[in-house]
A and B are shown apart, each in its own frame.
Chain A
Amino acid sequence: DSGVTQTPKHLITATGQRVTLRCSPRSGDLSVYWYQQSLDQGLQFLIQYYNGEERAKGNILERFSAQQFPDLHSELNLSSLELGDSALYFCASSPRGGAVETQYFGPGTRLLVL
């Protein structure tokens, strides 16, 4: 158990819908990362937050957004869902987003868009 929690574990929804994925980092970690794992794209970095502020953006679609709250949990919002958004979404955390820190991953949320 990495200490990172993600809810829900599974999510099935329809095209055009909006969903919210939630992540709680390890106790004491200030930095949160979101990754998407799909069959065609592999594992891709989406976005990073540090202590409530966006720090870096990767291949995140405009239909996707995220935020990190004062209690450090983070939410990833996916809207106008398409079939191709079906994937495993991971949240990871590290203490300060610093140079030599390991990112510990949560169990993931498996999203299926029908």
Chain B
Amino acid sequence: AQKITQTQPGMFVQEKEAVTLDCTYDTSDQSYGLFWYKQPSSGEMIFLIYQGSYDEQNATEGRYSLNFQKARKSANLVISASQLGDSAMYFCAMREGLQGATNKLIFGTGTLLAVQP
């Protein structure tokens, strides 16, 4: 069965430093997509970044980058130059296959990031 594992329940980082949030996944599909979402205390889910299993380059979106290591089945999120507004829960998610009838997302348990001034 497909599964997403986030082993860090919580993390602290100093403002302006970089931080890596870990995500490993398990799937037998050759084609899949990986996502990171941010959930601030207000509750909404904000899309951050996407990586397709066939993408050769690591995805980047502004201060967010995804360290994709396919052989190790890991898709870690790197946030550079942390800001106080980055304090939130971060979820890694995987979409089942790219050819299936559904595009449901499977989520990890999340990592709570606290940025300290």
By a beta-carbon cutoff of 8 Å, the part of chain A in contact with chain B is 2, 31, 33, 35, 42-45, 48, 55-56, 58, 88, 90, 92, 94, 97-108, 110
Q: Which of B31, B43, B99, B110 meets A88, CB within 8 Å?
A: B43
Q: Which residues on the A side are within 8 Å of B45 (C-beta)? A: 90, 92, 105, 108
Do B52 and A56 touch (CB < 8 A)?
no
- List B residues 20-78 near A (Cβ within 8 Å): 31, 33, 35, 37, 42-47, 50, 52
Q: A59–B21 Cα gap in the complex (Å)?
A: 28
Query: In the complex, what's the smallest C-beta–C-beta distance from B75 to chain A, in angstroms?
Result: 15
Q: Is B16 an interface residue (CB 8 A)?
A: no
* Structural contact, B107 and A43, CB atoms closer than 8 A: yes
CB distance from B42 to the nearest CB of A (A): 8
Which of A43, A56, A98, A110 gathers the greatest number of chain B CB atoms within 10 Å?
A: A43
Closest-by-CB residue of B relative to A101 is B103
Alpha-carbon separation in the docked complex, A31 to B104 (Å) = 11
Are the C-beta atoms of B102 and A56 separated by less than 8 Å? yes
B50 partner, pick from A45, A56, A102, beta carbons under 8 A: A102
In contact, A43 and B103 (Cβ under 8 angstroms): no
Contact (Cβ within 8 A) B44 A108: yes
Question: Is there contact, CB below 8 Å, between B91 and A48?
Answer: no
Q: How far is the CB of B16 from chain A (nearest CB, A)?
A: 27
Instruction: Specify which of A55, A102, A110 lies most central, judged by the most chain B CB atoms within 10 Å of its CB.
Output: A102
**CB pair B102 A48 closer than 8 Å:** yes
Contact of B106 among A45, A92, A99, A102 (CB under 8 A): A45
Interface string of B91-104 (1 = CB under 8 A from A): 10100001101111
- Determine if B80 is an interface residue (Cβ-Cβ < 8 Å): no
- Whether B18 is near chain A, meaning CB under 8 Å from some CB there, is no
Return the chain A residue nearest B97 by Cβ: A99
Sample (28) of A-B pairs whose CB atoms are under 8 Å apart:
A31-B103, A33-B104, A33-B105, A42-B107, A42-B109, A44-B107, A48-B102, A48-B104, A55-B102, A56-B102, A56-B104, A58-B104, A90-B45, A92-B45, A94-B103, A97-B103, A99-B33, A99-B103, A100-B52, A100-B98, A102-B35, A102-B50, A103-B47, A103-B105, A105-B37, A106-B44, A108-B43, A108-B45
